[in-house]
Amino acid sequence: MENLNVGKAGLEQLIAGDKPVLVDFWASWCGPCRMMAPIVEEVAKEHPEIAVAKINVDDEPELSVKYKIMNIPTLLFFRGGDIVHRQIGAVSKGKLEEMLRDL
């Protein structure tokens, strides 16, 4: 599996693409983020029709400001370059897949 961790350039390239994009804003010291990590990775493997990216807020503070990330984990769902949904806090795999279906 490819590395889901992307920087600013990688994220902008994904968002500009044709696929819907799920972005997980996280940090290594965040317990709920560590709970979400395997769920996000599973969803990335199982849904190749969706681009998935992980942004470490400690490594990419500019992106945290740009997308108004106040709490982590925060999941942003993009379609056509626009944010269409924002999920703050950890969610189950079932709930995440339900959100992706709505995408």
The catalytic site residues sit at: 30, 33
- Spell out the residues 6+ positions from residue 89 whose beta carbon is closer than 8 angstroms to its own: 32, 71, 73
Residue-wise DSSP of 28-53:
TT-HHHHHHHHHHHHHHHH-TTSEEE
> In DSSP terms, which residues pair with 79 in a beta bridge?
82
Output the CA–CA distances (angstroms, integers) from residue 15 to 2, 28, 47, 66, 78, in the order listed. Answer: 17, 24, 16, 14, 7
> How far, in Å, CA of 31 to CA of 28, rounded?
8
